[in-house]
Amino acid sequence: MADPASATAQAAALEALQSSVNALLATKYLAAAGLVCSLWDHLITLDEEIGVLWAGRPWDFTRVIFITNRYGIEGCLIYVAYSA
């Protein structure tokens, strides 16, 4: 029969594991919610982006930063929300 100290240690380890799983799920759910908000913003401002950003002007540093920020955030959120 297992001693009480071992059973207590196993219960504590199981509780820590459950807490970690809950934190991981909360992170994934919040990333999915952030992704939905980001995609909604992208959808409602896409016409402005096309008119201003893709109008045929030469590329400069601010355009590159804007594109990296706009699409990079969504890529990161997709990775966090749907990675295993």
Q: What percent of the chain has pLDDT over 70?
A: 96
- Sort 34 into a burial class: Cβ within 10 Å, 0-12 / 13-18 / 19+: middle
Separation between Cα atoms, residue 37 and residue 75, nearest integer Å = 13
The pLDDT tens digits for 50-75 are 988 888 888 899 999 999 999 999 99
